[in-house]
Amino acid sequence: MGQQRWITARRWGASALLPVAFLGGGLHTIYGGGRSRGPGTVHLARVPTAVIAARSAPDSVTAKALGAEEDQILFGDLHVHTTYSGDAFLRSLPLLQGEGAHPPADACDFARFCSGLDFFALTDHAETITPKRWAEERETIRQCNAVAGDPANPDLVAFTGFEWTQVGLVPEQHYGHKNVIFRDTDDAHLPARVISATGPLGPAMRAARPAPGIWKIPFRDFAHRDVYMDFVTFTRETRAIPDCPASVPERAMPLECREEVATPRELFDRLADWGFDSIVIPHGTTWGFYTPPGSDWKKQLTPAQHDPTRQLLFEVYSGHGNSEEYRAWKDVDVGAGGEPACPAPSARYEPCCHRAGEIIRSRCGAIPAAECEQRVADARRRYLAAGTAAHLTVPGARVEDWGGCGQCLDCFNPSFNYRPGGSAQFVLATTDFTDPGNPKRYPFGFIASSDNHSARPGTGFKEFARRMMTEATGARDEAWHEFMAPPTAAAAESLAVDPTKPFAAPWLAVDIERQASFFMTGGLVAVHARGRSRDAIWSAMKSRSVYGTSGDRILLWFDLVTHDGLRPMGSEVTLSSSPSFEVRAAGAFEQLPGCAPMPYGPPAARLEALCRGECYRPSGARKPITRIEVVRILPQLEPNEPIASLVSDPWRTFVCPPGDAGCKVTFNDPELATLGRDATYYVRAIEAPSPAINAAGLRCDRDAQGNCVKVHPCYGDYRTDFKDDCLAPNEERAWSSPIFVRWVKP
């Protein structure tokens, strides 16, 4: 590890000995005295059967009143991180207003006692899961299930998984993030190692220093010095794992090595080599925080990069925003010579490359017009060349200067820097023409989850504690802000930024400050299951009998009516006549404040640390469903058919009667026989507005044409009061899985 020496440092009358290692010519400080964080301890008591029965009974009553099938609707979260994920550990640090460690056991206890879920999965980033941590996570999940009682009627089902966290610097190499969930929990049916992704993100997560001058941190925050030492111990342990040998069969690889693959195909092949029952769920597919401009999902909808036996579900919503809606605008275009070009702004969308040029234009002063225009053109070109680090090309630009550029301003709770080519609607409308004589379409079920990074599955049950229940974070004061991201002076010209070169700190490569205004509390996945068991939940997921919600526990049924009965959401059906459908929906229960008495729960101090004084606590009144929206998508018949012409959103809208009794609608599609082509249908059940964290995003002031002319960001750092939850009216909703109609000529 290079030459070491000891430095004695003194500040505030205290001293500490720090080993300093010189690595590769750069000074990397590695603190001594740090400890390895353990997985925590699962509370050894389940929720009583009577409490579970009382929780589910009102849903059964509502189902009967609506004439719905009496499958149980169970709610879960299949996307949960603990501080075994490197980014989660980083945001738990005091300098970022963090609460400290949230180990795997916290996720079990939070799901059981705070959010009252029926199931969840741990999906920590594979890139920082060492063999030791993987073993601890597997054992924690087994402990969580052991507490749950009768396997046929458990209070909670916990699944084991990990996240394959891939990032490409250019669209051709970008595939994005995927959660891998396993059915079973015993070691005989789980891989010996997690499978991480190659590319720039893994090394960034495993970096030994989170910022330049890290050695100063314990002295700036001496009371919390042990926490920072623990973090560096975490990164040192992560980096110590060697890469697995190349070209060695999966089961012949050593246990103590880091397994990495570059593409989804390699991931699917490795999972097939293990042979265990698993589901792969892509997520964050429109999230421009790490997705290069110009990316789309077309290259993943081919046999080369898709496995329809495993990749069955699509996460349309999370605490990182919505990935459902397609828009035809572009964040980058192609110039006459094939080079990236900056599109012109439209009434609904301004590309950030255009805004970069306008910021530079505002700094031209008295220089000649031709020179100013050249600077503007350079700024737009450099912005496009810098990928997700493009915000660094305009020195001194503030969050307010960027306005609403890059955002889908007419989408529901959109993900940050929206990439419509990764939307669920784009995926459903795209046909695979790689085999000209055999075009293929790939059905996906829709789910939602949280993507929470503090071991809190199902955070959307109440809208409170923005910096604890969402991912919004930032420096706790101005001094820390300048330490982490030293301010740059405004310059008259833009800078060229090479995204392939390492940054002084990993987070500088992404636009963290603007992103904070887009973090929501999490969504939920709902399953129509034949019981509460692991088998019942897994079978529902495998059959796509699932739907997603934006966090509220909305009840939703969507069925195709056939001569021999109902075909539920997720079904593929061949028809030669017009399809008819039924939709039933009921709103989530209004929540009572605080937590109900819980004599079976953890000690009061632990419960407070987990739940922060609020638990899932339904009242007897449901929120009203105001309308049902139907989306119809006609999959491509030709490779160049424009996606926008194939997506009808909404295709039909049905207003629901007032009150909390629920909503039932029927409809058909007489046009399909005339169209004579396949069609895909799904529905949204939408509740009356209620306050939600960050529902207004950048909180735009708009002109008469609806353009965003001024923003009021909800910062993750000290610039927004810690107690300000940035609440705004929000139409919570549920998305059904689609029904796929394959048309045959009568």
| End-to-end CA gap in the chain | 73
DSSP secondary structure code for residue 112 in this structure: I
DSSP secondary structure code for residue 535 in this structure: H
**CA–CA dist 491, 349 (Å, integer):** 26
Whether residue 636 is contained in a domain is answered as: no
- The pLDDT assigned to 212 comes to 53
- The pLDDT assigned to 476 comes to 87
- 241 and 168 in one domain? yes
Whether 25 shows a pLDDT value over 60: the answer reads: no
- 311 and 167 in one domain? yes
Residue 14: band (very low, low, confident or very high) from pLDDT cuts 50, 70, 90: very low
- 453 and 436 in one domain? yes
Whether residue 352 is contained in a domain is answered as: yes
Mean of the per-residue pLDDT values of the chain: 90
Whether residue 687 is contained in a domain is answered as: no
- Encode pLDDT of 208-256 as tens digits: 444 455 667 777 788 888 888 888 889 889 999 999 998 888 888 999 9
699 closest CA partner among 345, 403, 402, 331: 403
Boundary residue ending a domain (622, 641, 668): 622
- 618 and 497 in one domain? no
- The pLDDT assigned to 205 comes to 66
β partners of residue 122:
80, 160
Residue 91, burial from CB neighbour count under 10 angstroms (0-12, 13-18, 19+): buried
Residues in the chain: 746
- Encode pLDDT of 401-450 as tens digits: 999 999 999 999 999 999 999 999 999 999 999 998 899 999 999 999 99
330 closest CA partner among 647, 642, 650, 703: 642
- 454 and 388 in one domain? no
Locate 90 and state its tokens: 């980083």
Determine which of 129-143, 178-192, 625-639, 692-706 has the lowest per-residue pLDDT on average: 692-706
- 352 and 318 in one domain? no
Full residue range of the structural domain in which residue 538 is found: 49-327+420-472+519-553+589-622
Angle, in degrees to the nearest 10, between helices 352-361 and 369-385: 150
- 377 and 296 in one domain? no
- 108 and 214 in one domain? yes
Q: What percent of the chain has pLDDT over 90?
A: 78
Whether 23 shows a pLDDT value over 60: the answer reads: no
Residue 149 sits in a domain whose CATH number is 3.20.20.140
Q: Is the pTM of this model over 0.85?
A: yes
Whether residue 173 is contained in a domain is answered as: yes
Boundary residue ending a domain (622, 641, 665): 622
- The pLDDT assigned to 505 comes to 62
Whether residue 7 is contained in a domain is answered as: no
Determine which of 18-27, 34-43, 366-375 has the lowest per-residue pLDDT on average: 18-27
Whether 461 shows a pLDDT value over 90: the answer reads: yes
Span 547-557, average pLDDT: 98
DSSP secondary structure code for residue 440 in this structure: B
β partners of residue 528:
73
Whether 604 shows a pLDDT value over 50: the answer reads: yes
Count of helices and strands (H, E) across the chain? 18, 33
Q: Among positive and negative, which fits the CA dihedral 565, 568, 570, 575?
A: positive
Dihedral angle over CA of 343, 347, 348, 352, nearest 10: 40
In this structure, what are the phi and psi dihedrals at residue 95, rounded to the nearest 5 degrees? -65, -20
Question: Do 527 and 436 meet the contact criterion of CB atoms below 8 Å apart?
Answer: no
- 230 and 143 in one domain? yes
- Encode pLDDT of 102-143 as tens digits: 999 999 999 999 999 999 999 999 999 999 999 999 999 999
- Encode pLDDT of 618-677 as tens digits: 999 999 999 999 999 999 999 999 999 999 999 999 999 999 999 999 999 999 999 999
Whether 396 shows a pLDDT value over 90: the answer reads: yes
Kind of pairing, strands 157-165 and 177-182?
A: antiparallel
Whether residue 531 is contained in a domain is answered as: yes
Question: Do 148 and 141 meet the contact criterion of CB atoms below 8 Å apart?
Answer: no
**CA–CA dist 714, 746 (Å, integer):** 56
- 449 and 491 in one domain? no
Nearest 5°: CA angle at 472, between 518 and 311? 65
Task: Write the CA distances from 576 to 429, 562, 571, 680, integer angstroms.
Answer: 21, 12, 16, 15
State the DSSP string of 351-402. -HHHHHHHHHHTT-TTS-HHHHHHHHHHHHHHHHHTGGGGGGGSTT--HHHH
DSSP secondary structure code for residue 173 in this structure: G
Question: Do 151 and 157 meet the contact criterion of CB atoms below 8 Å apart?
Answer: no
Residue 3: band (very low, low, confident or very high) from pLDDT cuts 50, 70, 90: very low
In this structure, what are the phi and psi dihedrals at residue 540, rounded to the nearest 5 degrees? -65, -40
Span 513-518, average pLDDT: 91
Verify cis geometry, omega within 30 degrees of 0, for the bond prior to 345.
Answer: no
- The pLDDT assigned to 507 comes to 65
Residue 482: band (very low, low, confident or very high) from pLDDT cuts 50, 70, 90: confident
Whether residue 189 is contained in a domain is answered as: yes
- How many distinct structural domains can be found in the chain? 2
Whether 24 shows a pLDDT value over 60: the answer reads: no
Whether residue 530 is contained in a domain is answered as: yes
In this structure, what are the phi and psi dihedrals at residue 369, rounded to the nearest 5 degrees? -60, -40
Determine which of 198-207, 468-477, 645-654 has the lowest per-residue pLDDT on average: 198-207
- 364 and 312 in one domain? no
Question: Do 532 and 157 meet the contact criterion of CB atoms below 8 Å apart?
Answer: yes
Contacts 24+ apart (CB under 8 A), 483-488: 483/95, 483/211, 483/213, 483/216, 483/220, 484/95, 484/211, 487/396, 488/395, 488/396
- The pLDDT assigned to 213 comes to 59
- The pLDDT assigned to 33 comes to 67
**CA–CA dist 675, 679 (Å, integer):** 10
- 438 and 369 in one domain? no
